Amino acid sequence: MVAGSTVPRVASYSSTTGSHEGTIGFIGLGQMGYNMAKHLYSKSQAPFVVFDMNSSVVSQFKDENSSGTTSSAQAPITAASSPADVARQASVIVTVLPESAHVKDVYLGSEGIIRGIRPNALCIDSSTIDTSVSIDVSQQVIGAGARAVDAPISGGIMGAKAGTLTFMVGSQNADDYEKAKVHLQQMGKNVVHCGDLGAGQAAKICNNLLLAISMVGTAEAMNLGIRLGLDPRVLASIINTSSGRCWSSDTANPVPNVIESAPSTNGYNGGFKSRLMLKDLGLVSNAAKESRTPLMLGALAENIYRHISNQGEMADKDFSVVYEWLAGRN
């Protein structure tokens, strides 16, 4: 998006018509989805219909966003009874779900989106899942007379809160991408068209492969430096002004108290869970096998996160907890 440009808005809600035209559906109010939905609701000025298996988080979302503090306070927020119920009411549906099985159930299950999908409705799936599953689900949605794009996310919870996410989009055609872009720009900073259906997922798993490797490398370098007597803040400042600089060092440094906003400083809470990184590395492994692509460092990173995910509470800590895991080893 060009600096200084205006983010497009969807049609505002008209209380006189009560029409579902322009209604946005959102499914999946987890740590990522909740913050994304807040941005989309406040910036779109469109009526919202939401669904999550956790009804309390739906109630929380309604309470927090219907207080009149946002620009779209006049637009209603409705709690749906199922994904199909969302589909019956919305012309645009955004889904943010944990795994392939959840996406298949939400879209294709007995109460899935496809059971209530409206003609020409646009489905935007921002989950990170198997590329083959993503393509299959999108094709079934398109076969039902609707539109579908895959638009997985990079930027983590911090990016979701700040509205600075990057979306990697795969679409059947340019028109579907442009329609999706209007809504994605309201939740993020960068929207990139990667190619055909599934291309967004392919780009995302490549990014997360590198992310896992760079986090392990950063943690290993910091651990070595600290054992050699270096002050972690000094070492981090050197890395971050030298050739070793990366997101894992300058934004989410794995050593506590080096970066105040990093999950490591908050007890490794509030970030991207280690077990989810392991899940993504499993997707990488599957894609590598299907494409006959060798993985060297990727396989090592997957093995490390498998060990971490078997360490009780570490599984639910931010994946930068790999530093703590390494620091405890000799």
Whether 204 sits among the annotated catalytic residues: the reply is yes
Q: Which of 38, 161, 204, 273 is catalytic?
A: 204
| Residue whose token pair is 């298949």 | 104
246-284 in b/e form (b: 16+ CB < 10 A) is bbbbbebbbbbebbeebbbbeebebbbbbbbbbbbbbbb
Helices 31-44 and 55-65, packing angle to 10 deg? 30
Tokens found for residue 2: 């060009």
- As annotated, the active-site residues are 204
